[in-house]
Amino acid sequence: MSSQDYMNTSMQEPPLDYSFRSIHVIPDLLSEEPRPGLRPLRHSKSGKPLTQSLWLNNNVLNELRDFKQVLSQLLEHPENLAWIDLSFNDLTSIDPVLTTLFNLSVLYLHGNSIQRLGEVNKLAILPRLRSLTLHGNPIEEEKGYSRPVTSQSTRVLWSCLSRSLQPRVQAGTMSPAIALAFLPLVVTLLVRYRHHFRLLVRAVLLRSLRDCLSGLRIEERAFSYVLTHGLPGDPGHILTTLDHWSSHCEYLSHMGPVKGQILTRLVEEKAPSCVLELGTYCGYSTLLIARALPAGSRLLTVERDPRTAAVAEKLIRLAGFDERTVELIVGSSEEVIPRLRTQYQLNRADVVLLTHRPRCYLRDLQLLEAHALLPAGATVLADHVVFPGAPRFLQYAKSCGRYRCRLHHTGLPDFPAIKDGIAQLTYSGPG
């Protein structure tokens, strides 16, 4: 395989994941089995994984001795390593071996024991480094950490963060007279839609800014918070921790406790043998369903984004649910639904939860009907049918004659003034 072919292949490959393995020294990687991913890793002819990502987070490493030698035995082209996650270890410094990986673009070092801000200087020679995380280290207490203009170390840190921001040149300006004419309209809209504006700021603008500055998605930041504050094996406490994170830290766009009560009550009443969820996201609604299932029941949950699915799977396993109870499938719902019967042995879904994309609800409902996955009496719950809305889905459910429809009126979590709702459909059969 040529170097260019390798680059094209490995960029799409899942990471080599040694997280949560209690690894003390790097040579232990050679005797430790990596965690099975949601997608299998491809290997070269020599049997080494074709990937540019290595996850060593949540171990007990305090040094990286023999790192390069071990990499050469683990990876086909270790010099092309682009993403290393060393977060939540016991590292006290930035090992010089990291500065020899000139293709490194993402480096997670948050949650370690790095004490000197000057350690960041070592990374200045990495030309492609664009995402660097250092929060949760003792260096946060060092003067100048939060003001990246006072020293060489902080300038290096700021340059790593700013590479992903790519400022745009302003194309033109509006004249003051025109701007003043629109001012009353703008004020009126801001007053009338102030709750939507707050939602836009919290869910889009602030989230995008934090994503750029931290190098982490909001789901990954929420999971780090759960690891610190949640009780492993207690799904109820983990759900409460996520609610607290969303209310007091960053808006998570999850189902929330009010809608969660509707979902939990329905699952407890139906006592389904099998539940299908389309749209796992961070795993919040998955935990709600799983803890309400009767013994021996099964939940299949589908998430199209592999990175989000990786976080959700960790959260589900942290809550204590194994793959026999909760099976997470990575892929688009349109591709997964036709394979549910043959590949995942799902003959019928007594309860279906739609939480992915409202514009896909109608398509997926009709796919479930076409593949005879809905038995008579099955319940379909669809979230967000009012905001942002799924009008074609609701119109079809009410007019096709195969469903009894009920709409549970709610508000968005943390934004009760923004009206939303959950549609509950009861399937009467194909006739």
Residue 140 is predicted with a pLDDT of 73
pTM over 0.75: no
Higher-confidence residue of 75 and 185: namely: 75
Mean pLDDT, rounded, for 129-156: 64
The residue written with tokens 């999850």 in the block is 254
Residue 124 is predicted with a pLDDT of 86
Count of beta carbons in the 10 Å neighbourhood of residue 60: 12
Most confident among 30-44, 49-63, 162-176, 326-340 (mean pLDDT): 326-340
Residue 1 has pLDDT above 50, yes or no: no
For residues 108 and 146, give the distance between their C-alpha atoms in angstroms, rounded to a whole number.
18
CATH number for the domain whose boundaries are 254-427? 3.40.50.150
Residue 109 has pLDDT above 60, yes or no: yes
Q: Among 19, 108, 14, 17, which residue's Cα sits nearest to residue 57?
A: 19
What are the phi and psi torsion angles at 412 (to 5°)?
-70, 145
Q: For the chain, give the percent of residues with pLDDT over 70.
A: 87
| Secondary structure (3-state) at 205 | helix
Higher-confidence residue of 200 and 168: namely: 200
Which residues contact residue 215 at a Cβ distance below 8 angstroms, ignoring those fewer than 6 apart?
A: 106, 108, 131, 132, 133, 164
What is the dihedral sign for C-alpha 399, 400, 402, 405? negative
Residue 169 has pLDDT above 50, yes or no: no
Averaged pLDDT of the chain: 86
> Cβ(388)–Cβ(419) under 8 Å?
no
For residues 78 and 307, give the distance between their C-alpha atoms in angstroms, rounded to a whole number.
22
Domain ranges of the chain: 3-162, 183-214, 254-427
Give the chain's radius of gyration (CA, Å).
Answer: 24
Per-residue confidence band for 422, with pLDDT thresholds at 50, 70 and 90: very high
Mean pLDDT check: name the lowest of 20-24, 94-98, 359-363.
20-24
Count of beta carbons in the 10 Å neighbourhood of residue 249: 13
Residue 259 is predicted with a pLDDT of 95
What is the dihedral sign for C-alpha 111, 114, 117, 120? negative
Mean pLDDT check: name the lowest of 169-173, 247-251, 419-423.
169-173
Higher-confidence residue of 338 and 155: namely: 338
Residue 275 is predicted with a pLDDT of 97
Higher-confidence residue of 160 and 286: namely: 286
For residues 371 and 353, give the distance between their C-alpha atoms in angstroms, rounded to a whole number.
17
Residue range 211-270, pLDDT digits in tens: 999 899 999 999 999 999 999 999 999 999 999 999 999 999 999 999 999 999 999 999
> Cβ(411)–Cβ(384) under 8 Å?
no
Pick the CATH number of 3-162 from 1.10.10.10, 1.10.8.100, 3.20.170.30, 3.80.10.10: 3.80.10.10
What is the dihedral sign for C-alpha 334, 340, 344, 346? positive
The per-type count for the chain, helices as H runs and strands as E runs, is 15, 12
For residues 83 and 92, give the distance between their C-alpha atoms in angstroms, rounded to a whole number.
20
Residue 8 is predicted with a pLDDT of 43
What is the dihedral sign for C-alpha 279, 315, 308, 296? negative
Residue range 317-369, pLDDT digits in tens: 999 999 999 999 999 999 999 999 999 999 999 999 999 999 999 999 999 99
Residue 106 has pLDDT above 80, yes or no: yes
Residue 318 is predicted with a pLDDT of 94
Task: Go through 261-273 and write b for each residue having 16 or more CB atoms within 10 A of its CB, e for each that does not.
Answer: ebbbebbeebebe
Residue range 38-55, pLDDT digits in tens: 678 888 888 888 888 999
Per-residue confidence band for 144, with pLDDT thresholds at 50, 70 and 90: low
Mean pLDDT check: name the lowest of 128-132, 208-212, 281-285.
128-132
Which residues contact residue 151 at a Cβ distance below 8 angstroms, ignoring those fewer than 6 apart?
A: 117, 144
Mean pLDDT, rounded, for 281-293: 96
Task: Go through 301-333 and write b for each residue having 16 or more CB atoms within 10 A of its CB, e for each that does not.
Answer: bbbbbeebbbbbbbbbbbbebeeebbbbbbbbb
